[in-house]
């Protein structure tokens, strides 16, 4: 029998120490040490673990049930998975509780057992919101923040769906909301989900730095992590981890008086307020998660009072825009040296897709020349350093979306091969 030695490891960064430390000397996390499985033995005394052939693994479609929102289903990869745990993070006020109350209601109405654990708000507050959302009065609330009684209640009621709003309010070991408490509660709840086959949704607060408190602690335990964010008038749900579907898929919602509503046709929504016949406005086709969205790129230029003119970019990668400005100057002779340049992706989304390069270039060109770009065309293509236009992924899908959104022409490669041609074709 080998010697068993206790060892402690920081759950944030993996730093090891012979005893638990109050603060990790490596990453600075507080109370983050957890004891490792101590004994390292020869294994001679244990029951030998079995193996199975890959071919014997049942990988037929996962059983899922619809969340009641097509946009949420899209992000999840097809709906809630029984026995799975997911985490929804987002800033206070973004609409996490609203969305989950709506989903809880829809699951209930489709005949599932649902429990909403209200740790953040009083039952009265939840009821006020629920009334606005038209949530069924049959929804069961649990006002319990202590882990043990909470688990007891779940064992008793055996719900199909449990929403814990929020994981930071659950009291287990240590101070509620602390790393240790969040980790312990999450692990116990995830074990409940796996054992019972119920679906667990945890709400997690996002700190100022934009991560769910104790991120690594929770994220490696849950099956999927989703973030709800604000994008102008809209709310966007995206996955950063998903064991049951594609990562990076995006759902779009609108906040109304009756809660969050699916935006079925984001292109239409994001182009709704597009000005007509104005210089500096060009529609590009961007990849956004698995879908393509038509988005308006806007540019504005004004004479700069500064020695070094300003470059202000919103919703796009500022460095890519700088490169495009340099290409416009050097290859097309566009004089930008004395101009402040503002480039904005209208609608509040943030997109990092080289396929939008051409739309950016045309928007700036149009703004500088004071000549509008035809409203009937959309642009797609990456701009190279010599002013060449490069093809981008999913050209077919972008073309389809452009047609669907009512554009007569999609400007870009392979028909056009350089920026020079593109500006000539596009300006009215």
Q: What b/e sequence results for 212-222 when a residue is b if at least 16 CB atoms lie within 10 Å of its CB, and e otherwise?
A: bbbbbbbbebb
Nearest approach, Cβ of 414 to ligand TYD (angstroms)?
A: 45
Size of the site for ligand TYD (CB under 6 A): 15
Nearer of residues 97 and 281 to Mg ion, judged by Cβ: 97
Nearer of residues 107 and 297 to ligand TYD, judged by Cβ: 107
Nearest approach, Cβ of 89 to Mg ion (angstroms)?
A: 12
Stretch that binds Mg ion, among 96-104, 131-139, 292-300, 310-318 (CB under 5 A): 96-104
CA-CA distance, 411 to 175, in Å (whole number)?
58
Nearest approach, Cβ of 406 to Mg ion (angstroms)?
A: 38
Q: Token match 């308006």: residue?
A: 296
- φ/ψ region of 68 (left if φ > 0, alpha if ψ in -120 to 50, else beta) reads left
Contact at 8 Å (CB) between 403 and 347? no
Retrieve residue 195's tokens.
Answer: 């054992």
Determine which residue in the list 255, 336, 369, 395 makes contact with ligand TYD, applying CB under 6 A: 255
Nearer of residues 64 and 96 to ligand TYD, judged by Cβ: 96
Could you say which of Mg ion, ligand TYD, none residue 145 binds, taking C-beta under 5 to 8 angstroms by partner kind?
none
Nearest approach, Cβ of 117 to Mg ion (angstroms)?
A: 12
CA-CA distance, 281 to 273, in Å (whole number)?
12
Nearer of residues 133 and 332 to ligand TYD, judged by Cβ: 133
Nearer of residues 224 and 343 to ligand TYD, judged by Cβ: 224
Cα–Cα distances (Å) from 139 to 101, 130, 148, 259, 422, in that order, read 9, 10, 22, 17, 57
CA-CA distance, 66 to 59, in Å (whole number)?
20
Using Cβ positions, the residue closest to Mg ion within the complex turns out to be 97
Residue 204 binds ligand TYD, judged by CB under 6 A: no
Residue 267 binds Mg ion, judged by CB under 5 A: no
Nearest approach, Cβ of 283 to ligand TYD (angstroms)?
A: 29
Determine which residue in the list 7, 109, 127, 129 makes contact with ligand TYD, applying CB under 6 A: 129
Q: Which class for 17: exposed (0-12), middle (13-18), buried (19 or more C-beta within 10 A)?
A: middle
- Give the angle subtended at the CA of 182 by the CAs of 209 and 87, to the nearest 5°: 70
Nearest approach, Cβ of 187 to ligand TYD (angstroms)?
A: 23
Could you say which of Mg ion, ligand TYD, none residue 141 binds, taking C-beta under 5 to 8 angstroms by partner kind?
none
Nearer of residues 130 and 392 to Mg ion, judged by Cβ: 130
Nearer of residues 235 and 398 to Mg ion, judged by Cβ: 235
Could you tell me the sign of the dihedral formed by the alpha carbons of 39, 41, 43, 49, in that order?
positive
Radius of gyration of the chain (CA): 26
Residue 169 binds ligand TYD, judged by CB under 6 A: no
DSSP secondary structure, 94-106, as one string = SSHHHHHHHHHHH
Q: Token match 């030695």: residue?
A: 5
Could you say which of Mg ion, ligand TYD, none residue 197 binds, taking C-beta under 5 to 8 angstroms by partner kind?
none
Binding mask 77-106 for ligand TYD (x = CB under 6 A): -------------x-xxxxxxx--------
Determine which residue in the list 32, 67, 69, 97 makes contact with Mg ion, applying CB under 5 A: 97
Contact at 8 Å (CB) between 296 and 288? no
Residue 281 binds Mg ion, judged by CB under 5 A: no
Return the closest-CA partner of residue 419 out of 362, 352, 366. 362
- Give the angle subtended at the CA of 427 by the CAs of 421 and 428, to the nearest 5°: 135
Residue 23 binds ligand TYD, judged by CB under 6 A: no
Contact at 8 Å (CB) between 336 and 263? no
Nearer of residues 34 and 230 to ligand TYD, judged by Cβ: 230
Retrieve residue 253's tokens.
Answer: 């919602």
Q: Token match 């202000």: residue?
A: 312
378 phi and psi, to 5 degrees?
-120, 160
Determine which residue in the list 35, 70, 173, 258 makes contact with ligand TYD, applying CB under 6 A: 258
Could you say which of Mg ion, ligand TYD, none residue 95 binds, taking C-beta under 5 to 8 angstroms by partner kind?
ligand TYD
Residue 287 binds ligand TYD, judged by CB under 6 A: no
Residue 208 binds ligand TYD, judged by CB under 6 A: no
CA-CA distance, 398 to 178, in Å (whole number)?
46
Residues that bind ligand TYD (CB under 6 A): 90, 92-98, 129, 132-133, 255, 257-259
Residues that bind Mg ion (CB under 5 A): 97
């Amino acid at each position: 029998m080998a010697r068993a030695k206790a060892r402690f490891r920081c759950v944030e960064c993996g730093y090891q120490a012979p005893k638990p430390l109050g603060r990790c000397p490596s990453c600075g996390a507080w109370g983050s040490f957890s004891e490792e499985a101590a004994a390292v033995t020869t294994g001679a005394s244990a029951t030998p673990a079995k193996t199975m052939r890959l071919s014997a693994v049942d990988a037929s479609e996962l059983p899922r049930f619809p969340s009641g929102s097509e946009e949420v289903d899209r992000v999840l990869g097809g709906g809630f998975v029984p026995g799975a745990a997911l985490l929804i993070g987002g800033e206070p006020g973004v609409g996490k509780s609203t969305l989950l109350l709506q989903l809880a209601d829809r699951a209930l109405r489709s005949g599932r057992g649902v429990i909403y654990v209200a740790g953040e708000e009083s039952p009265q507050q939840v009821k006020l919101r629920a009334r606005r959302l038209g949530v069924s009065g049959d929804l069961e609330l649990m006002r319990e923040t202590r882990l043990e009684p909470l688990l007891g209640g779940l064992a008793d009621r055996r719900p199909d769906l449990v929403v814990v709003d929020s994981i930071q309010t659950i009291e287990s070991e240590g101070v509620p909301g602390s790393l240790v408490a969040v980790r312990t509660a999450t692990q116990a709840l995830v074990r409940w989900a796996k054992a019972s086959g119920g679906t667990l949704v945890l709400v997690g607060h996002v700190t100022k730095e934009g991560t769910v408190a104790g991120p690594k602690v929770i994220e490696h335990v849950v099956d999927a992590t989703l973030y709800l964010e604000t994008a102008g008038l809209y709310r966007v749900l995206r996955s950063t981890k998903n064991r049951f579907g594609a990562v990076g898929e995006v759902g779009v919602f609108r906040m109304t008086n009756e809660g969050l509503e699916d935006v079925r046709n984001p292109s239409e929504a994001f182009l709704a307020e597009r000005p007509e016949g104005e210089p500096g406005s060009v529609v590009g086709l961007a990849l956004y998660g698995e879908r393509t969205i038509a988005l308006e790129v806007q540019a504005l230029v004004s004479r700069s009072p500064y020695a070094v003119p300003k470059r202000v970019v919103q919703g796009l990668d500022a460095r890519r825009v700088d490169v495009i400005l340099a290409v416009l100057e050097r290859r097309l002779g566009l004089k930008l040296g004395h101009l402040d340049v503002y480039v904005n992706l209208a609608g509040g989304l943030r997109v990092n897709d080289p396929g939008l390069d051409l739309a950016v270039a045309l928007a700036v060109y149009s703004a500088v020349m004071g000549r509008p770009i035809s409203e009937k065309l959309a642009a797609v293509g990456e701009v190279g350093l010599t002013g060449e236009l490069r093809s981008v992924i999913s050209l077919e899908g972008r073309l389809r979306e452009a047609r669907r959104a009512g554009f007569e022409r999609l400007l870009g490669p392979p028909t056009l091969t350089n920026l020079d041609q593109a500006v000539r074709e596009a300006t009215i």
